[in-house]
Structure 1
Amino acid sequence: MRIVDLSSTVDASAEWEANPVEHRILSPAEGAAHMARQMRENWSVDFDVSVLPDGELLSLDTFTLTSHTGTHVDAPSHYGTRAAYGVPRHIDALPLEWFTGPGVVLDLTAAPVGAAGADRLRAEFDRIGAVPGPGDIVLLHTGADRLAGSAKYFTDFTGLDGPATELLLDLGVRVIGTDAFSLDAPFADMIDRYHRTGDRSVLWPAHFTGRRREYCQIERLANLGTLPRPTGFTVCCFPVKLRGAGAGWARAVALLEETEDPKEKP
């Protein structure tokens, strides 16, 4: 079994992040003092950290970040407070079965900044000789992950328009992933098209489709271009169980069976 990491790194030192990440570190020595204080205040246990080797116990990391930082899964409750199918579920209430299944990679690297349509997806189905179905996890390879850490990561990428999103859901797909910042087009692109046309349907169509149909998005994936084939692998992208949250971080991976040629055995 070969494991391909499809997750982007949460990095507080990144050059640019829409919602900055704060990473505070207690060293092992500071962690020892912290643990001793916690034991004393919470459980009335006194402990002298000087008896520990080098006076050190354990380090402690505290991150301050949004649930949409790094690779994450959006829950239906992220899309709005009401849905045509009932009360939108939070990330902790979704079935785990949704987040593991056959993967299908669709190559959108040649698409311009903006929103790809259903015809482009159908052309990809023809090119790879496969149509996604129920239980499949569709991954959109836009190439945007190469811009991660820069301001362009949030402005120069390809999303999906409404009909393209509907097409995948019509095929039975419940989870759609992308290596871009959002499954929708960049903010400036959507708002410019709205100002030019007055058509409200161009505003966050992929997200707002989730108000009519229950599904999840995986955003900010990485390394989709390293997968050796568009199908024939399993995706695992279980979200962290955050109670009442509209999203949860995920360590998304692809699992590929390594076939061994008997002729190569010694």
Structure 2
Amino acid sequence: MRLIDLSSPIDARFWEPDPVIHTAMSPAEGARHMSEELRAHMGIEFDVDALPGGEFLNNDTLSLTVHTGTHVDAPAHYGSAASYGTPRTIEAMPLDWFFAPGVVLDLTSFGTGAAGPTVIEKELARIGYTPSPGDIVLLNTGAAARVGTPAYFTDFTGLDGPATRLLLDMGVKVIGTDAFSLDAPFPHIIRTYHETGDTSVLWPAHFLGRQREYCQIERLANLDALPEPFGFQVVCFPVKIAGAGAGWARAVAVLND
């Protein structure tokens, strides 16, 4: 068995629309913090000099959104109501959705914009594969090469509504991408809307989640490291954050060599 990490990191050094704030507590600071907490909350005095090297344990505090780094979007992210009932939050999603056979589609030649169903059909025909119900479909757009930069949020391939619906009609419950969003970039969407006046171009992949219950994995990485387009398992369990519309995930491909 071989494992391939498909996750991008949460890194406070990266450029993000909502910056990550990462505050690190050293082991020495952890010792002083522990001593102060014991005194304040339990009335216990403790001399940190009794600890080896005067150090206890380090700790890290982060301020970030649940859409930072590789994460899974829950149906609740797409809106407050859905045709199938109340959209579920991330901790309520079935675990078996996130451990399933995977297939990766190469969209690296498409460029910036929203790919339609013809693009998906052509790529599936090229690799000779039809997704089965429950498969996890991964989109390799090439966006991972720009992670950490402003271009990561403006230059990538998304899906339009019909392309997303095509995959859902095949029984797919989870669609993943190495890009910031499963939809086209915000500037492309707004520009297209202003040019056409067509409201269907406004985040169709996300808003389709109000009609069809499914999840997205966004901000994947290393999809080009997969040796074959299918024949592997994807594991991408989201962190169990109560009431949240998304949860961070360590996405991994499992290959049986």
Report the TM-score when normalising by structure 2.
0.99
> Secondary structure at the residue paired with 2:231?
coil
Q: Distance in 1 between matches of 2:162 and 2:41?
A: 55
Alignment-derived partner of residue 172 in structure 1: 171
Alignment-derived partner of residue 60 in structure 2: 61
Q: Distance in 2 between matches of 1:220 and 1:21?
A: 15
Alignment-derived partner of residue 155 in structure 1: 154
Q: Identity percentage over the alignment?
A: 65
- Structure 1 residue identity aligned to 2:81: R
Deviation per residue, 1:37-95 (Å, 9 max, x gap): 22232333332111011100101101110000000000000000000000000001111
Q: Confirm or deny that 1:34 pairs with 2:64.
A: no
Deviation per residue, 1:206-254 (Å, 9 max, x gap): 0000000100000000000010000000000000000000000000000
Q: Confirm or deny that 1:225 pairs with 2:224.
A: yes
Gaps of 5+ in 1: 259-266
Alignment-derived partner of residue 189 in structure 2: 190
Q: Confirm or deny that 1:6 pairs with 2:6.
A: yes
Q: Distance in 1 between matches of 2:205 and 2:166?
A: 11
Shift of 1:133: 1.6
- Structure 2 residue identity aligned to 1:237: C
> Secondary structure at the residue paired with 1:233?
strand
Q: CA RMSD in A?
A: 0.7
- Structure 2 residue identity aligned to 1:3: L
Q: Distance in 2 between matches of 1:112 and 1:39?
A: 57
Alignment-derived partner of residue 122 in structure 1: 121
Q: Across the two proteins, how many residue pairs are aligned to each other?
A: 257
Matches within 5 A, 1:43-58: 43-58=42-57
Matches within 5 A, 1:12-23: 12-14=12-14, 16-23=15-22
Deviation per residue, 1:120-151 (Å, 9 max, x gap): 00001101100112110000000100000111
Gaps of 5+ in 2: none
Deviation per residue, 1:152-177 (Å, 9 max, x gap): 00000000000000000000000000
Report the TM-score when normalising by structure 1.
0.95
Q: Distance in 1 between matches of 2:216 and 2:202?
A: 17
> Any runs of at least 4 consecutive aligned residues in structure 1 with deviations exceeding 3 A, and if so which?
none
Shift of 1:13: 1.3
